[in-house]
Structure 1
Amino acid sequence: MKMVISGGGTGGHIYPALALVKEVMSREPDSKVLYIGTQEGLEADLVPKEGIPFQSVYITGFKRSLSFDNVKTIWRFIKATRRAKQLIRDFNPDVVVGTGGYVCGPVVYAAHSIGIPTLIHEQNVIPGLTNKFLSRYSNCIAASFSGSSSYFPKEKTVVTGNPRATEVAQADGSRGRQSLDLPTGKKYILIVGGSRGARAINEAVADMIPMMAEHPDYFFIYVTGEIHYEKVIEDIRASKPANLLVRPFIYNMPEVLAGIDLIVNRAGASFLAEITSLGLPSILIPSPYVTNNHQEKNARWLESQGATRVILESELSGSKLLSSIDAILRDSGTERHMREASKSLGLPHAATLVYNQLKSIAKG
């Protein structure tokens, strides 16, 4: 298979793309892949490190309010589409895939305009502007959650899950616990605010630290983010309880996720795919700083399915966070129900499901 894939801006768009590339290469080792992103996005760093050929176009996102910048964006879209057409013609792929971010707009549209089959993947429950626009130009729309289906044409929408979930579902939880040298016989709670950390979550955990010693059956793994680590360590040095492990970052996150009992985190789409593939109960604290408030919409949908508890950042405190943890882990029925609900939403074979859709639409 020859595939062009595009996804950019954040890891939530890039990691599913990379997981799909791995799936394609594992099934068809002779496949050729070209990744088209932007030089400004995280993809310009991550993709070449994976040994995947990378090309870029220049494009910016639309403002949601009336702005002269949108006129400039339309012109950039036209130029980016022209360049994407040339890149696609030169590569001559069997299929073009978009996994989100505004760079997918000109790439997928260009492929459609020259007759190349296209697939877009939507990670969030509520689709973004780019995928709503591209849905009319795509042969197939792969959705991570069934809650997305009503936003797209029914006849070409398939719920596949998120390819990133496949990598996490295969992880070994015992290796994750061993890598952190965790004590046995505890309930393991992982608290993390994303790769760069989240100040509000860090502050809530700082408030909770004096109460942790009163819960010796719990063991807390607290990931601060690199930029917050030194300050957090300094702040808690005199009061750090024995059942708390603090790390700036965890590199083997899939293994660690597979070995814990409860996670506290933001509500990014790829992360939700990971925890549902494992059937993990969660407490989600959506970031209020993201476009279209999509994290809260993701979290509320999972909450409506019984898989999570949601605490808004404006309502967050150490006591509220700890009482929410207790409400789940002190009640075996609640914990079991949340595990079952989370697992029912997960699609651990998502990469295979998306691959099958690719095969069904690819030319030749």
Structure 2
Amino acid sequence: MPTIVLIGGGTAGHVTPNIALLPALRDAGYDVYYIGTRDGIEQELIAREGIPFHAVPAGKLRRYLDWQNFTDLARIKFGFLKSLLILARIRPDIVFSKGGFVTPPIIWAAWLLGIPVVCHESDLTPGLANKLSFPFAKRVCYAFAETAKYLPAGKAVHTGIPVRAELANGDAQKGRDLCAFKSEKSIILIMGGSLGSRAINAAVRAALPDLLVEYQICHLCGQGNLDSALEQTEGYAQFEYVTDDLPHLFAATDYIVSRAGATALFELLSLQKPALLIPLSPASQSRRSDRECRSFSKCRL
């Protein structure tokens, strides 16, 4: 039986495309393993899929002065050494990387062991983690046609981003029940990414009195961002993060307001839901995401 190791983490955008590949990998007879961080969202998401999960230390790769650079360099070193041990034990036929700062040490370890690596770049221009990984990869898949000029010649393959098929199979009534919505008003689903967005959360909650006149609001606000003062607000439902029930919320929703992460763009386009997209902040590489938004003219409100 062929074996594949999937890697990626930090945010859901680095994990859910891997999950989208699982049905095809299983149909092809692959034995699947996952390597990520212990503290990232990937461990929780992958646990639901029944896949063996291995955690490695990871350090963030910063391009600015910060005292954590010193401690994180040690974490990167230990992550590399632990990845060597894990991969030597599993001996996969291939490693597929969806990105995130956890991935470079794993890819370096795979290269040292002679294991082929395929990387995936979701964004319009590659981030630092992928730039450090590309020299060790056999192939580099990418989402946007314009990205090809930033990638190594002879390695690039235009694939788009894998989207979970189950997102289109939700039950609208289940979605309304999850939110305890009883009115016939239209529903707006507001998503700030898997980690949430303080700016979006604050703007939504400040505008609630006006929004609730015409709409019901389903708000995915990120871990630790629930507002207890709004728990009994009629027509407003808030969740930190939703996994299995997300297809039902999508089915119940009339409009979507979302951060413009690359994975979210492809998922929303596949659903053909009217959407208002919010470019990421400068700290989240907004220049890149702004260009990605303009590439998706069908995603509009």
Query: Is TM more than 0.5 here?
Result: yes
Shift, 1:254, TM fit: 2.3
**In structure 2, what is the equivalent of residue 356 of structure 1?**
none
Shift of the 113–263 alpha-carbon distance from structure 1 to 2, 3 Å rule, reads: same
- CA deviation map 1:74-100 (0-9, x unaligned): 554444333322322221111011111
Shift of the 211–256 alpha-carbon distance from structure 1 to 2, 3 Å rule, reads: same
**In structure 1, what is the equivalent of residue 238 of structure 2?**
247
Shift, 1:171, TM fit: 4.4
**In structure 2, what is the equivalent of residue 264 of structure 1?**
257
Bigger radius of gyration, 1 or 2?
Answer: 1
Task: State the alpha-carbon separation in 1 of the partners of residues 206 and 43 from structure 2.
Answer: 38
Shift of the 57–200 alpha-carbon distance from structure 1 to 2, 3 Å rule, reads: closer
- CA deviation map 1:294-341 (0-9, x unaligned): 3552244222542456xxxxxxxxxxxxxxxxxx4xxxxxxxxxxxxx
Give the secondary structure class of the aligned counterpart of 2:154: helix
Task: State the alpha-carbon separation in 1 of the partners of residues 94 and 278 from structure 2.
Answer: 37
Task: State the alpha-carbon separation in 1 of the partners of residues 287 and 173 from structure 2.
Answer: 32
**In structure 2, what is the equivalent of residue 303 of structure 1?**
294
Q: What CA RMSD, in Å, does the superposition of the two structures yield over aligned residues?
A: 3.2
Give the secondary structure class of the aligned counterpart of 1:306: coil
Task: Give unmatched runs, 5+ long, in structure 2.
Answer: none
**In structure 2, what is the equivalent of residue 28 of structure 1?**
28
Structure showing the higher helix proportion among its residues? 1
The question of whether the paired residues in 2 share the 8 Å contact of 1:169 and 1:274 is answered with: no
- TM-score, normalising length from structure 1? 0.69
Task: State the alpha-carbon separation in 2 of the partners of residues 93 and 305 from structure 1.
Answer: 36
Q: Does 1:229 align with 2:258?
A: no
- CA deviation map 1:189-235 (0-9, x unaligned): 222334564443333334433434664xx55434455632322346x
**In structure 1, what is the equivalent of residue 11 of structure 2?**
10
Out of 273, 281, 291, the residue aligned to residue 288 of structure 1 is: 281
Name whichever of 251-260 and 124-133 sits farther off: 251-260
- CA deviation map 1:229-256 (0-9, x unaligned): 322346xx5xx5xxx3423355511232
Count of matched residue positions in the alignment of Structure 1 and Structure 2: 297
Task: State the alpha-carbon separation in 1 of the partners of residues 151 and 66 from structure 2.
Answer: 27
Shift of the 47–219 alpha-carbon distance from structure 1 to 2, 3 Å rule, reads: closer
Task: Give unmatched runs, 5+ long, in structure 1.
Answer: 310-327, 329-364
Q: Does 1:156 align with 2:149?
A: no
Indicate the structure whose relative CO is greater, using CA pairs within 8 Å and at least 6 residues apart: 1
Task: State the alpha-carbon separation in 1 of the partners of residues 169 and 157 from structure 2.
Answer: 23
Shift of the 124–171 alpha-carbon distance from structure 1 to 2, 3 Å rule, reads: farther
Shift of the 82–202 alpha-carbon distance from structure 1 to 2, 3 Å rule, reads: closer
Give the secondary structure class of the aligned counterpart of 1:227: coil
Q: 1:63 is aligned with what amino acid?
A: R
